[in-house]
Amino acid sequence: MDKINSFSEYQEQYKKSVDNPDAFWSEQASTFLWKKKWDRVLDWEFKTPSVNWFINGKLNITENCLDRHLDTKADKTAIIWEPNNPDEKHKEITYKELHEKVCRFSNVLKANGAKKGDRICLYMPMVPELAIATLACARIGAIHSVVFAGFSAKALSDRINDADCNILVTSDGLYRGKKQMCLKDIVDDALQTCPTINSCIVLQRTGQQITMKDGRDSWWHEEDELVNSICDAEIMDSEDPLFVLYTSGSTGKPKGVQHHCGGYMVYAEYSFRNVFQYNEDDVYWCTADIGWITGHTYIVYGPLLAGSTTIMFEGVPTYPDAGRFWEVCEKFKVNLFYTAPTAIRALQVYGTEFIDKYDLSSLKTLGSVGEPINEEAWDWYYKNIGKENCWIVDTWWQTETGGIMISPLAHITKMKPTFAALPLPGIQPCLVDPDGKEILGNDVQGNLCIKYPWPSMIRTTYGDHERCKQVYFSTYPGMYFTGDGCRRDEDGFYRITGRVDDVINVSGHRMGTAEVENGINEHSRVVESAVVGFPHEIKGQGIYAYVILEDINAASDNLRKEILSTITKEIGPIAKPDKIQFVSGLPKTRSGKIMRRILRKVAEGDTSSLGDTSTLLDPSIVAEIIEGKV
């Protein structure tokens, strides 16, 4: 399939996608392998909401990722896997081998009773088997729910139970930098409260001692020996679910964002090819983890659909030293590189010594995702990594959008540091004022909404459609609300300014303040807490927690440590507050609502303009919090 080749072609395609979306998407979708073509392109309304793409089309996404490449690309490398430890040998898996491995594991899942529509949880390190298991679920029509392997037992069991998963795939342990962790111990703990799990399939990665439960647990390699490598792909409807992926919102527990087969497939490949301007022999590396949406769409599905070579990296940017990313770029002659601003900022601190050692001349396009990229990090990336020769694509999107929504197209769209630039064809963003009125024209600012469906949009939140409606489609009726604030400058370029709700973005990880508060409140001495984000040099945002204790005299550093370990147990280390301030009360309005605006200002260290505090039940609490005495 062709790419957009010039800015005028982008404008032409964009216009076509708005004037006649059905014709536009029909053309895009027709490049895939369908078992049966769709009857209609799109039916939709945003009230319920009900969105159906490629109606009555039949397909299997893995036939498009694998089988259809076998004629021409059987021996091409599909996945390069780089282990955590640079002394361990990397692996290269061809399309033919990947196809075979996926078919085998599909048969393992079937032998464990899996069938179409079942939910299967994957809790694994960044090893090829994670991609294989993901694709195997899709091949048999089971819905995968990948849970990032940094989440705690509690967070894992919550996600398993919310989706009633019946199979869990995991590993004995994992390596991350200098650390080795026992995943299976966490799993054993989690499964004590997961009655729906019948089988747990365990990959051997670290070889460490673990316990296997009779009748429930089995080894991946032993199961693999019992099956063959022939597995026809299940025929799926376009609107059959492909996966759920849990993500945090303003309120309550994380919700399972659900994506469906047909539309997700079309958009994953379309956006990958155009944003990165992927060429046939490009080597592509996205440093994300498959536990997040970026890994789903731009490590597994998008690149494999496009028939590219995609790198999976098990480690971290600073192990064994801060040159690791660049060493890997040199080693595999990476052309397209995609990472998060938090990684860039973390590496910036080490200077250029670790970059200069490596030949980065293969790089052409540098991507950024997950949070706003500050100008300093943008410049550093552009100069030191791209040597002023590469295009930077600052890609804005969300778990719910399934794919990149607003981004420059590499080597095509003019770059403006910190701007995500322009919507992809088919994407109709708009800015709205607090009353929900669309703000027209340029040089304006508002809340970012999308007013027309796109193929990879969220269809529902698992098991709770009402929640999907409330969170995304009720704030501004008739539109999808992103939760982000945004500026559109005089050229019509979009700059995302950050979340306008109670979601914070810590090192590119999305977290609900309510979720962190609930975790902190689990500590027996905590009565109540309020969490806000504050600007953090490396992480983008840090977590600031105000905590009320049963007995304020118990406040101590030791108690702080205990609270950190409670939150690690409840959610995982990524949710640990950077700062805990013990307070005797919180600034609440007479109706009991916490005035977070004030807490944010104090956390930022800016107490000069707290605004109107006259509606507070007890205004004196503000002074106490500012003094931070207690």
Does position 397 interact with ligand WTA (CB under 6 A)? The reply is: yes
Residue with Cβ nearer ligand WTA (52 or 247): 247
Q: How far is the CB of 603 from ligand WTA (least distance, A)?
A: 18
Q: How far is the CB of 508 from ligand WTA (least distance, A)?
A: 7
Structure tokens at 503: 């979601």
Residue from 398, 413, 461, 475 binding ligand WTA (CB under 6 A): 398
Q: How far is the CB of 317 from ligand WTA (least distance, A)?
A: 18
Q: What is the chain's Cα-based Rg? A: 24
Strands 526-536 and 540-549, by their bridges, are antiparallel
Q: How far is the CB of 459 from ligand WTA (least distance, A)?
A: 16
Structure tokens at 180: 């080795």
Does position 507 interact with ligand WTA (CB under 6 A)? The reply is: no
Does position 335 interact with ligand WTA (CB under 6 A)? The reply is: no
The amino acid occupying position 129 is E
Rounded to whole angstroms, the Cα distance separating 153 from 189 reads 6
Residue from 395, 428, 541, 581 binding ligand WTA (CB under 6 A): 395
Residue with tokens 């300093």: 376
Q: Which stretch binds ligand WTA (CB under 6 A): 273-281, 476-484, 585-593, 602-610?
A: 476-484
Rounded to whole angstroms, the Cα distance separating 560 from 566 reads 10
Total interface residues for ligand WTA by CB under 6 A:
23
Contact status, residue 38 vs residue 238, Cβ threshold 8 Å: yes
Residue from 64, 318, 399, 447 binding ligand WTA (CB under 6 A): 399
Q: How far is the CB of 502 from ligand WTA (least distance, A)?
A: 12
Does position 420 interact with ligand WTA (CB under 6 A)? The reply is: yes
Residue from 145, 171, 505, 581 binding ligand WTA (CB under 6 A): 505
Residue with Cβ nearer ligand WTA (308 or 399): 399
Q: How far is the CB of 283 from ligand WTA (least distance, A)?
A: 22
Does position 496 interact with ligand WTA (CB under 6 A)? The reply is: yes
Q: How far is the CB of 402 from ligand WTA (least distance, A)?
A: 10
Residue 324 C-alpha from the chain's centroid: 22
Q: How far is the CB of 260 from ligand WTA (least distance, A)?
A: 17
Q: How far is the CB of 396 from ligand WTA (least distance, A)?
A: 4
The vertex-165 CA angle with 56 and 215, nearest 5°, equals 130
- Can the peptide bond before residue 83 be classed as cis, meaning omega within 30 degrees of 0? no
Residue 482's H or E segment, with its range, is strand 480-488
Does position 484 interact with ligand WTA (CB under 6 A)? The reply is: yes
- How close are the terminal C-alpha atoms of the chain, in Å? 63
CA dihedral 521, 523, 525, 530 (to 10 degrees): -30
Residue with Cβ nearer ligand WTA (166 or 505): 505
Q: How far is the CB of 458 from ligand WTA (least distance, A)?
A: 10
Q: 192 to 211, contacts with ligand WTA by CB under 6 A? A: none
Side-chain half-sphere exposure of 182, counting CA atoms within 13 A: 11
Q: How far is the CB of 426 from ligand WTA (least distance, A)?
A: 18
Side-chain half-sphere exposure of 41, counting CA atoms within 13 A: 16
Q: Which residue is nearest to ligand WTA (CB)?
A: 399
Residue 499's H or E segment, with its range, is strand 494-499
Residue with Cβ nearer ligand WTA (287 or 482): 482
Contact status, residue 285 vs residue 201, Cβ threshold 8 Å: no
**Which residues, including other chains, have CB under 8 Å from residue 11's CB and lie 6 or more apart?**
none
Q: 222 to 251, contacts with ligand WTA by CB under 6 A? A: 247
Q: How far is the CB of 534 from ligand WTA (least distance, A)?
A: 16
Residue from 402, 483, 512, 542 binding ligand WTA (CB under 6 A): 483
Residue with Cβ nearer ligand WTA (185 or 489): 489
| DSSP SS3 for 251 | coil
Contact status, residue 544 vs residue 534, Cβ threshold 8 Å: yes
Residue with Cβ nearer ligand WTA (220 or 480): 480
Residue from 46, 54, 246, 396 binding ligand WTA (CB under 6 A): 396
Side-chain half-sphere exposure of 184, counting CA atoms within 13 A: 21
Q: Is 234 exposed, middle or buried (0-12, 13-18, 19+ CB in 10 A)?
A: middle
Residue from 69, 255, 273, 499 binding ligand WTA (CB under 6 A): 499
| DSSP SS3 for 439 | strand
Q: Which residues of 24-44 are buried (b: 16+ CB within 10 A; e: fewer)?
A: bbbebbeebebeeebeebbee
Q: 357 to 376, contacts with ligand WTA by CB under 6 A? A: 369-372
Does position 342 interact with ligand WTA (CB under 6 A)? The reply is: no
Does position 13 interact with ligand WTA (CB under 6 A)? The reply is: no
Residue with Cβ nearer ligand WTA (420 or 431): 420
Q: 284 to 323, contacts with ligand WTA by CB under 6 A? A: 292-294
| DSSP SS3 for 225 | helix
Structure tokens at 308: 């590219």
Contact status, residue 464 vs residue 163, Cβ threshold 8 Å: no
Contact status, residue 451 vs residue 428, Cβ threshold 8 Å: yes
Structure tokens at 439: 């703000």
Rounded to whole angstroms, the Cα distance separating 256 from 6 reads 38
Does position 515 interact with ligand WTA (CB under 6 A)? The reply is: no
Does position 345 interact with ligand WTA (CB under 6 A)? The reply is: no
Residue with Cβ nearer ligand WTA (255 or 260): 255
Residue with Cβ nearer ligand WTA (188 or 371): 371
By CB under 6 A, name the binding residues for ligand WTA.
247, 292-294, 369-372, 394-399, 420, 482-484, 496, 498-499, 505, 510
